[in-house]
């Protein structure tokens, strides 16, 4: 069995990560997760994508929302609202325990990786989930009038303001997680996550960026666009606002320096020859993961196609 490194954002990426978790040994799997969405809220360190992946793999996520914990209660949030504090970022009672625990672990001197593994242990998960970096990188959304912090744009303003650009702060002090030895992976999978705000923060980290450029034959992109629509979240909306055609071709052009292989949905097969012209080997599968079976089936199909190489 080959060693797989997944580059993963939140909800969309976590679905494929679950399929991989169900299909290969934990020893062959590492998941590097975007931390550009992290922020301090109510004095707590919140890592939405790390938690989405952790809860999803532990079978603890709220499947209807995609984020947060299942069977959640909201007493703290209601009490906070009664005190006229802001409640736009919804923290459930059980989820709150995760943020309190992480904040305390970090305050006691643990790195974000150590704190993540400590939390994973309490969910009976092996140490295969890693933050992309132990140093903070913050994603900002440039809109016509204002630069917005990521969660303000995503949750408070519900992704409504049109996007003109992205800014990543903290890059001068950040490096790709040194606990992930890139040379040990046979295959690197770019999950079907938002290229602009989930994968791009990772690509800003020079050691990862240089490695992907040098070993692009190891890198497979799983398209987050199917039939001119986002699988999840604002990818298509952002593409449109940035002036690009909403299609797998735009995804392929975005990753063309980093990857030689793309997995597209069967409904996009008509784009194959243009993808070939861009230098991609094209694989087609059902990319819509709306059940555990379809998540497992997609992961197994990707693994099968890559193992036979
Ligand atoms: N997303 C929302 O749309 N609304 C929320 O109130 C919200 C709260 C929240 C709390 C904890 C957490 O880990 C994630 C949460 N998310 C919420 C999801 C999250 O902000 C986004 O999905 C990601 O940042 C984008 O990947």
d(CA 202, CA 198): 8
What is the residue with the minimal CA distance to atom 21 of ligand 1?
48
Contact 67, 61 (CB under 8 A): yes
- The CATH classification of domain 4-136+172-307, taken from the options 2.40.170.20, 3.40.50.10680, 3.40.50.10470, 3.90.550.10: 3.40.50.10680
Of 174, 168, 169, 260, nearest to 212 (Cα)? 260
Question: Which ligand 1 atom sits closest to the C-alpha of 89?
Answer: 6
Question: Which ligand 1 atom sits closest to the C-alpha of 150?
Answer: 24
Question: Which ligand 1 atom sits closest to the C-alpha of 198?
Answer: 26
Q: What angle do CA 79, 84, 233 make, to 5 degrees?
A: 80
Specify the range with the lowest mean pLDDT, choosing from 77-86, 227-236, 238-247. Answer: 227-236
Question: Which ligand 1 atom sits closest to the C-alpha of 91?
Answer: 10
User: Torsions phi, psi of 251, nearest 5?
Assistant: -60, -45
* C-beta 155 within 6 A of ligand 1: yes
Question: 68: CA distance to ligand 1 center in Å?
Answer: 7
> Exposed, middle or buried: residue 290 (CB in 10 Å: 0-12, 13-18, 19+)?
exposed
- Mean per-residue pLDDT for 17-21? 98
Question: 76: CA distance to ligand 1 center in Å?
Answer: 17
Q: Which tokens hold the place of 127?
A: 């140490």
* C-beta 68 within 6 A of ligand 1: yes
- Mean per-residue pLDDT for 214-227? 97
What is the residue with the minimal CA distance to atom 25 of ligand 1?
10
pLDDT given for residue 191 in this prediction: 98
The set of residues, in sequence order, having a beta carbon less than 8 Å from that of 85 and lying 6+ positions away, is none
Most informative mutation of 155, 157, 199, 200 for ligand 1 (most atoms within 8 A of CB): 155
* C-beta 154 within 6 A of ligand 1: yes
* C-beta 37 within 6 A of ligand 1: yes
pTM: 0.98
Q: What is the pLDDT of residues 101-148, one digit of tens each?
A: 999 999 999 999 999 999 999 999 999 999 999 999 999 999 998 999
SS3 (DSSP) at 8: strand
* Confidence grade of residue 309 (pLDDT, cut at 50, 70, 90): confident
For the chain, give the mean pLDDT.
Answer: 97
Please determine, for residue 231, whether its predicted confidence score (pLDDT) is greater than 90: no
What is the residue with the minimal CA distance to atom 9 of ligand 1?
90
Of 212, 259, 304, 213, nearest to 20 (Cα)? 304
Question: Which ligand 1 atom sits closest to the C-alpha of 158?
Answer: 3
- Helices 11-21 and 48-57: crossing angle in degrees, nearest 10, is 30
* C-beta 91 within 6 A of ligand 1: yes
Question: Which ligand 1 atom sits closest to the C-alpha of 92?
Answer: 10
What is the residue with the minimal CA distance to atom 2 of ligand 1?
155
């Amino acid at each position: 069995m080959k060693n797989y490194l997944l580059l993963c954002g939140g909800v969309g990426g976590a679905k494929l990560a679950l399929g991989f978790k169900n299909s290969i040994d934990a020893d062959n799997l590492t998941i590097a997760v975007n931390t550009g969405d992290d922020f301090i809220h109510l004095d707590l360190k919140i890592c939405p994508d790390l938690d989405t992946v952790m809860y999803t793999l532990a079978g603890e996520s709220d499947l209807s929302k995609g984020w947060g914990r299942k069977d959640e209660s909201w007493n703290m949030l209601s009490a906070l609202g009664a005190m006229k504090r802001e409640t736009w970022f919804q923290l459930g009672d059980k989820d709150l325990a995760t943020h309190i625990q992480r904040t305390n672990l970090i305050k006691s001197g643990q790195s974000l990786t150590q704190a993540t593994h400590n939390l994973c242990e309490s969910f009976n998960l092996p140490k295969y989930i890693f933050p992309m970096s132990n140093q903070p990188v913050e994603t900002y959304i440039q809109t016509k009038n204002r630069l917005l912090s990521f969660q303000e744009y995503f949750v408070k303003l519900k992704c409504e303001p049109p996007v003109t650009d992205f800014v990543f702060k903290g890059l001068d002090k950040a490096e790709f997680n040194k606990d992930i030895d890139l040379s040990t992976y046979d295959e690197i999978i770019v999950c079907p996550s938002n290229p602009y705000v989930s994968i791009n923060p990772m690509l800003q980290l020079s050691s990862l960026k240089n490695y992907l450029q040098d070993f692009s034959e190891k890198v497979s992109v799983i398209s987050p666009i199917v039939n001119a629509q986002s699988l999840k979240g604002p990818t298509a909306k952002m593409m449109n606002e940035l002036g690009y055609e909403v299609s797998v071709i735009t995804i392929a052009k975005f990753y063309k320096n980093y990857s030689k292989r793309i997995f597209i949905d069967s409904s996009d097969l008509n784009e194959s020859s243009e993808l070939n012209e861009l230098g991609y080997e094209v694989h087609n599968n059902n990319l819509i993961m709306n059940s555990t079976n379809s998540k497992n089936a997609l992961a197994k199909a990707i693994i099968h196609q890559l193992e036979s190489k």
